Amino acid sequence: MVGAIIVVANHVSGLDPLALGAACPRPLRFMAKAELFDNPITAAILHGLRVFPVKRGQVDREAYRTSMGILNAGEALGIFPEGTRSKTGELQPAHPGAARFSLATGTAVVPAAVVGTFPEHRRGISRFRNAKVRVVFGAPMQPANSAEARVSREDTDRLAHEIMERIQELIAASMMA
């Protein structure tokens, strides 16, 4: 797939961005919580990986502009719509960002499931070495109304819900495989 895409996946571990990035055939740009950039060494590594900060719990206009710039440049943006790691391993409700970006730019959303990174599934060093991490990609989802100037809350919520349903389906299918 060429052009801008938004790759969305479940998030249960700090390993998820690495697994998703390694499995994706295109380079992904990720946002990460701003607190990770407080340490200068970590910040340098993240910037080197082209990760950018997002201030959680508030409207972050700079992260929004960066995300829109990535999509307008035809790049791939990786987003974990839950906004944070799930502590239980269960899928959490989506934040509206991925859906909003998709609707505002007409960009396709590619759902993905990252399976095998949840800490409960890999206790101890020996289990970690033998961990089977799988990333499964679903078919692209085209936004119903593409690149509209004004995106409604209802459309955003609907697409965010559909995204999470698709991720859940991919998780369930990959657990059966």
DSSP string for 15-77:
THHHHHHHHSSS-EEEEEEGGGGSSHHHHHHHHHTT-EEE-TTS--HHHHHHHHHHHHTT-EE
Report in angstroms the alpha-carbon separations of 120 from 4, 82, 90, 169.
Answer: 35, 19, 12, 21
Q: Where are the domains of the chain?
A: 5-27+79-176
Q: Per-residue confidence of the chain (177 residues) as pLDDT tens digits?
A: 789 999 999 998 888 999 999 999 999 999 999 999 999 999 999 999 999 999 988 889 999 999 999 999 999 999 999 988 888 778 899 999 999 999 999 999 999 999 988 765 444 444 455 668 899 999 999 987 655 567 889 999 999 999 999 999 999 998 776
What is the Rg, in whole angstroms, of the alpha carbon atoms belonging to the chain? Answer: 16
